[in-house]
Amino acid sequence: MIRKLRFGGSVRPRTTKLGKLKTSFRLEDEFWTALKEIAFERGISINKLVTDINKRRRHANLSSVIRLYVLNHYRRLAEGKRKR
């Protein structure tokens, strides 16, 4: 489901679990919504998706890694549509 983006959304702290540990990060509303949509499409929880993203990260900042993950997800979708 693609929603119309509202630019200028607030950056809010989010809390999730990485395995058994609670962690928090700050993320704009638009990225949080996109992350929830990706998790829904894959049939997994936000906690599972963030845990998977965290396992592959090489950067120190989880918020930045999540933003890049969401960006790359939608870039791959756009690339697939251009090839058709």
pLDDT digits (tens, 9 = 90+) for 5-44: 555 668 889 988 888 889 999 999 999 999 999 999 999 9
Give me the domain span that covers residue 55. 11-83
What mean pLDDT is predicted for residues 53-79? 91
d(CA 70, CA 44): 15
DSSP 8-64: TPPEEEEEEEETTEEEEEEEEHHHHHHHHHHHHHHT--HHHHHHHHHHH--SS-HHH
Q: Identify whether 64 is part of a domain.
A: yes
| Domain assignment present for 3 | no
Residue 67 belongs to a domain: yes
Number of domains in the chain: 1
Q: Answer whether residue 25 is part of any domain.
A: yes
Q: Which of 30, 36, 60 is nearest to 50 (CA)?
A: 36
pTM of the model as a whole = 0.80
Asked if residue 5 is part of any domain, the answer here is: no
